[in-house]
Amino acid sequence: MSSVRVRFAPSPTGLLHIGGARTALFNWLYARHTGGTFVLRIEDTDAARNTPEAVAIIFSGLKWLGLDWDEGPMGDGTSVGDKGPYFQSQRKDIYARYVEKLLSEGKAYEHEGAIKFRTPKTPITVDDLICGQIHFDRTMDPDLVIQRKDGSPVFHLVNVVDDLEMGLTHVIRGEDHLSNTPKHLALFEAFGAQPPRYAHIPLILNPNGSKMSKRDEGASIGDYMAKGYLPAAVRNYLCLLGWSPKDNREVIDIKEVIEKFDLPQINRSNARFDLNKLFWINGEYFSKSTVEELEPLAVEVLQRANVLPADYDKAYFHAVFNIVKEKIKLAGDLPEWMDYFFKDDYGFDPAAVNKVFTPAGFDNLAKLRDRLSRSTAFDWASLEKEFKALAAETSQKVGAFIHPARLAVSGKSVGPSLYHMLEVLGKERTLTRMGRALELKK
């Protein structure tokens, strides 16, 4: 292991924001690139927001994205060390000790019950690994409250104490913290400690250029989990928010990103969030994954939507998924595409009924059903021959049979390839469904 130690230090807010997830990812990438250590620290000193649910959301989001941390239990029983993830709420004694130290050295003082740190009134230049040299005046900076009247320590103090105590070598975080950095450097100096190197990542903006907030569409990692996105695709997209392999490729294997990732090449301008691109990347990952690889996700999405029963027929499910997969790009669309395969009382799209179930349409459906009831082979190629033969015998286009057949067996006017669909449904189901549709004629 190299000596690099980085951390992700989220405050539990109730969601894992896309900006936070990207900060976690860039820290993780840097740790994996350098062979260093990735620490997770929960900044939960704000008691009002500090709920177990809010913390669980951070854990589950990071685990979903495959961003494993190196110290402490993983939340699933496995352990990779005896330290961390760290919770600031459990470290109050440590912070008190540091406040005490500043007080005893005259670097802090009591003021109306609170403790204030004497901030240096001298200019300082932050040498940031991404933003470059940033100058701060500081001559007018007021002294900094580091401990409130109620005894609780303030963010700036706990953040610095932990970065120091945890031996972190690099602080990679959002640019919204750049203006805090002079304060943090002053505290490091007061503690007589070497500060870490700072790397502030530019913000993520909405397509219209405004700063992305937690209410904006696509802002929460939980949304992607719920909608059936592939974690590798979301992670791939997050890599591109500020980093790129410099050759216009957008679908990149994470192993290659780890190999190439470094801090100085992170883009200095703000990144624009583009949901369409994320959707496209997800489609690329979805298409190149095999049915077997996607099966666990598909089953989860379908069961959550009550489409797939708990005791589903594995072979039938597999056959259905196989023909539907090429038609979609997002696992979240599976329920809509697959529900009628698993229930017999599906409804019929009214617009399609008007158009397709005309007297001639019903007539053709009846003829087709009659013919298929006598066919022995029910594979897609034989079915195609039957349809074509019937069309030729009745001097009609094959579509005159395809459209009523599709509507009859699925209730819809779009879906997977019809011949394949009938093969998967099988002869018995197909005939029963066509019979049910013919009832509509009366």
CA 375 to chain centroid? 48
Helix axes 231-239, 18-34, angle to 10 degrees: 80
Distance CA(323)–CA(275), nearest Å, equals: 27
In the complex, what is the shortest distance from the CB of residue 177 to ligand GLU, in angstroms, rounded to a whole number? 5
The nearer residue to ligand GLU, 8 or 64, going by C-beta atoms, is: 8
For residue 406, state whether it binds ligand GLU (rule: CB under 6 A): no
372 in Cβ contact with 430 (< 8 Å) = yes
Which amino acid, residue 50?
A: N
Per CB under 6 A, which region of 6-14, 72-80, 322-330, 390-398 contacts ligand GLU?
6-14
Per CB under 6 A, which region of 57-65, 170-178, 219-227, 409-417 contacts ligand GLU?
170-178
- Site track 411-440 with ligand GLU (rule: CB under 6 A), x = hit: ------------------------------
- Site track 102-141 with ligand GLU (rule: CB under 6 A), x = hit: ----------------------------------------
Among 177, 197, 429, 436, binds ligand GLU (CB under 6 A): 177
Distance CA(174)–CA(418), nearest Å, equals: 51
For residue 45, state whether it binds ligand GLU (rule: CB under 6 A): no
For residue 43, state whether it binds ligand GLU (rule: CB under 6 A): yes
CA distances in angstroms from 67 to 31, 60, 79, 154, 159, listed in the order given = 11, 10, 15, 28, 22
In the complex, what is the shortest distance from the CB of residue 19 to ligand GLU, in angstroms, rounded to a whole number? 9
CA distances in angstroms from 90 to 87, 149, 237, listed in the order given = 6, 20, 35
Closest CA to 130 of 23, 259, 11, 252: 23
Distance CA(312)–CA(268), nearest Å, equals: 51
Place of tokens 């009247």: 149
Q: What is the three-class DSSP state of 82?
A: coil
In the complex, what is the shortest distance from the CB of residue 172 to ligand GLU, in angstroms, rounded to a whole number? 8
Place of tokens 């706990």: 158
Among 34, 37, 147, 159, binds ligand GLU (CB under 6 A): 159
In the complex, what is the shortest distance from the CB of residue 160 to ligand GLU, in angstroms, rounded to a whole number? 9
Which amino acid, residue 420?
A: H
Per CB under 6 A, which region of 5-13, 187-195, 202-210, 264-272 contacts ligand GLU?
5-13
Among 173, 200, 325, 369, binds ligand GLU (CB under 6 A): 173
The nearer residue to ligand GLU, 107 or 177, going by C-beta atoms, is: 177
With residue 424 as reference, give the H or E element that holds it: helix 418-439
The nearer residue to ligand GLU, 17 or 235, going by C-beta atoms, is: 17
For residue 12, state whether it binds ligand GLU (rule: CB under 6 A): no
Distance CA(26)–CA(78), nearest Å, equals: 24
For residue 183, state whether it binds ligand GLU (rule: CB under 6 A): no
Total binding residues toward ligand GLU, as defined by CB under 6 A:
8
Phi/psi for 261 (5° steps) reads -65, 135
Asked about 441 being catalytic, the answer comes back as: no
With residue 420 as reference, give the H or E element that holds it: helix 418-439
Out of 116, 214, 227, 260, the active site residue is: 214
- List of residues contacting ligand GLU (CB under 6 A): 9-11, 43, 159, 171, 173, 177
| Residues recognised as catalytic | 214
